[in-house]
Structure 1
Amino acid sequence: MRSGDEQDTERLGERLAAGLGAGDVVLLEGDLGAGKTVFIRGLARGLGHDPEQVVSPSFVLAIWHRGGRLPLLHVDLYRLPEGAALDELGIDDALEAGAVVAVEWGDRVPGDLAAGAWRVRITAGASAGERLVSITPPDRARHSSR
């Protein structure tokens, strides 16, 4: 899909949120500045949260957005050393609580969590501000066995 600007990217996130349920994981991939946090603002809006409260959690690694249709845990793995354990970020607790978990730098997520996740890849388009966004749904058979 093509996104002409940040508003388009945010709307794509909002549209994806409409199809998400409790315990869904969304892994976002893309270069710095690609629009991962912008996409998650749309997810937040679609889940009933204030998108203005969504900021990149690069320095704190994870931010909870409680309430809404579904709670949202927004995780950013940019500053996490490669191979570091994700246990302390609260992802398992969030999934058990029925939250949606959105992870920036999702290509760093290992194993089972990645296998059952939505994947969003954002890359630069031909013109300034344009983005190409690909959204791949999880393998539902694998996802439901979690």
Structure 2
Amino acid sequence: MKVTLNRVNDAFHFKLKNERGHVVDVDSRAEFGGSDLGASPMELVLMGVAGCSAIDMISILKKQRQEIKAFNAEVEGERVKVGEATPFKEINVVFYLEGDINPEKAKKAAQLSFEKYCSVAKTVEPTATIKYKVVLNNEEL
């Protein structure tokens, strides 16, 4: 796996491209000297957790023939100062599912994602606690 980074402006706006040609804009917020023309690297980490776990869960639920009408997630990260860096201390994920889905299967899919399959979660797990909950058809499980 490989990505390339190219600087776009004289501040912190970059275009990153993967080997398949997909491009992502990365920048810093204005208060940190950037132009706010893309997601920050730490936001990309949260996006990675969301995307990775969503792929896992949908894959698991489809194999179980569950009917997913909608799938959304919200991910929030709490950071802590460690020297000059501020890594994530805790990441909270809420999955919102709609459809004809067995509640136990939805909970188990989330559990399997974070405990077994999600490589992004496993990457941040040594430094950040990940907590999650599942809301199915507007009811928290």
- TM-score tier (shorter): under 0.3
Question: TM (normalized to structure 1)?
Answer: 0.25
Greater relative CO (CA pairs within 8 A, separation 6+): 1
Question: TM (normalized to structure 2)?
Answer: 0.26
Which entry has the higher C-alpha Rg, 1 or 2? 2
Return the structure number with greater strand share: 2
